[in-house]
Amino acid sequence: MKKLLENWNKFVVEQKEMPCPAPTQDLELNTENRDAAIQAEHIQYGPLNVDEPGDYWEDIAEYWNTTEEAAQKSLCGNCVAFDISPRMDECMPGEVSDKDGRLGYCWMHHFKCHSARSCRTWAKGGPITEDKVSYDWQERSQSSMKNLQESQIKKLEDAAIKAALDGKNDPRAIQALTKMSKMGKYNMAALKKKIKDAKARTNEELEATIDEKKKKKKKKDDRCTRIAKRKYDVWPSAYASGAVVRCRRGKIWKGVKEDIEKIVREEVEAFLAESGKCQKGYKTHPTQKTKEMYGKTYRNCIKAEEKELTEAELEEKKKKKKAKTDYSKEKKSGLHGWFSRQGGKGKSKGWVDCNTCRTDKKTGRKTCKSCGRKKGEKRAKYPSCRPTPSACGTKGKGKKWGKRK
């Protein structure tokens, strides 16, 4: 039993052993990660020269809101992510110690850092001195790095695919993915396939959209369908559809023109019967029985006494509507202008009484009495005055001028 447990523990340890972190074996990658940590605003790894720190400790103390003395005690050497375990010492080639301290591996930012330096992401609890703890950090780091890497790759792929669909090229995305491909972390052939598939999907979606629009576009009814819709009260229906099929085969509705005219006439008459009669004083138009208003059909009613006028009568009617009484003399000269009018018969001057106008049968001219009545003169109606006889035809009080006694 004891032997079995020993073998099992040995098996667990062997399975748990992991390779050295890549930056410990790749100087270029280590330098790249270190420089990124120096330049990043939220990390600020330093000081660059331990012997001449400049204002580094003052700045980081202000960032942490503490004293400079306390800041100088918060070093990589006592950070929770600083790994100086035996297995990490084996991973780092060459000397790991000097007069100022020693090198260790930073699991936060993935590079070989010095115990005498610090950064803004420092956290107490270190260093890591046991292999078991080191393996735990590596396992968690690989999981988070994998997720981060997948997320970055997805963003880069999306940028490259979007640019390709627009007929362009995203050099930054392509360059980053190419670099990852050289490191063996990405396959550029996969990107080409994804771009090709994306273009194919885009074309398919475009064609589907066009097809959908074509389907939605209303088709114009053919001759047989139009007739069936008029003949059958219910549409669509089995009877109507069957009739359309027979019509298209030439078995029915050959005299379609006469049928349509008859159907339209019947529909108009039925509509007129349903819509009732015109109101008193109006009648249905003799030729245009219906009219369209606001998208609806109505009975076309006209005044009963109205009749169709000739062109000459229409022209005369327009002239009368446009005619306006000329008051220029009155506006210019006042009462003198009023008396400058010709007036009625004889020597009388001024305006005329429209209620007294008569048309001379011989000459056809309209003559009126003066508006002003003579002493003792009586008239059937109170005078309705206008500047001239012709002005009596303009719009005023209608046919009956003045007021009765």
| End-of-domain residue from the set 129, 157, 183 | 129
Q: Is residue 160 part of a domain?
A: yes
Residues 61 and 120 in one domain: yes
Res 329 pLDDT > 80 = no
pLDDT of residue 82: 92
pLDDT of residue 206: 72
Q: Which domain, by its residues, includes 184?
A: 147-208
Q: How many domains does the chain have?
A: 4
| End-of-domain residue from the set 101, 129, 157 | 129
Report how far residue 94's alpha carbon sits from residue 211's, in angstroms, rounded to the nearest whole number. 70
Average pLDDT rounded to a whole number, residues 219-227: 78
Residues 125 and 160 in one domain: no
Residues 29 and 96 in one domain: yes
Length of the chain measured in residues: 405
Residues 40 and 108 in one domain: yes
Instruction: Write out pLDDT tens, residues 68-78.
Output: 888 888 889 89
Residues 203 and 247 in one domain: no
Structure tokens at 96: 């790991």
Helices (H), 92-237: 131-165, 171-182, 188-216, 223-231
pLDDT > 90 fraction of the chain, expressed in percent and rounded: 1
Q: Going by C-beta distance under 8 Å and a sequence separation of 6 or more, which residues neighbour residue 394?
A: 320, 323, 324, 325, 386
Determine contact, residues 24/96, Cβ cutoff 8 Å.
no
Q: Is residue 337 part of a domain?
A: yes
Res 304 pLDDT > 80 = no
Report how far residue 351's alpha carbon sits from residue 88's, in angstroms, rounded to the nearest whole number. 126
Q: What is the pTM of this model?
A: 0.38
Q: Going by C-beta distance under 8 Å and a sequence separation of 6 or more, which residues neighbour residue 22?
A: 29
Residues 166 and 105 in one domain: no
Q: Is residue 214 part of a domain?
A: no
Instruction: Write out pLDDT tens, residues 339-387.
Output: 566 665 655 667 788 888 888 777 778 888 887 777 778 887 888 888 7
Mean of the per-residue pLDDT values for the chain?
A: 75
Structure tokens at 60: 């980081």
Residues 250 and 199 in one domain: no
Q: Is residue 46 part of a domain?
A: yes
Average pLDDT rounded to a whole number, residues 33-39: 87
Structure tokens at 384: 């309705």
Residues 175 and 75 in one domain: no
Q: Is residue 8 part of a domain?
A: no
Q: State which H helix or E strand residue 317 sits in.
A: helix 311-322
User: Of 256, 208, 201, 263, whose CA–CA distance to 232 is shortest?
Assistant: 263
Residues 28 and 86 in one domain: yes
Report how far residue 18's alpha carbon sits from residue 16's, in angstroms, rounded to the nearest whole number. 6
Report how far residue 236's alpha carbon sits from residue 245's, in angstroms, rounded to the nearest whole number. 13
Residues 155 and 182 in one domain: yes
Q: Is residue 96 part of a domain?
A: yes
Residues 79 and 109 in one domain: yes
Stronger pLDDT, 249 or 149, i.e. the higher one: 249
| End-of-domain residue from the set 275, 293, 313 | 275
Q: Is residue 79 part of a domain?
A: yes
Residues 125 and 152 in one domain: no
Structure tokens at 310: 């000739």
Burial 215-243 (b: 16+ CB within 10 A, else e): eeeeeeeeebbebbeeeeeeeeeeebeeb
Q: Is residue 215 part of a domain?
A: no
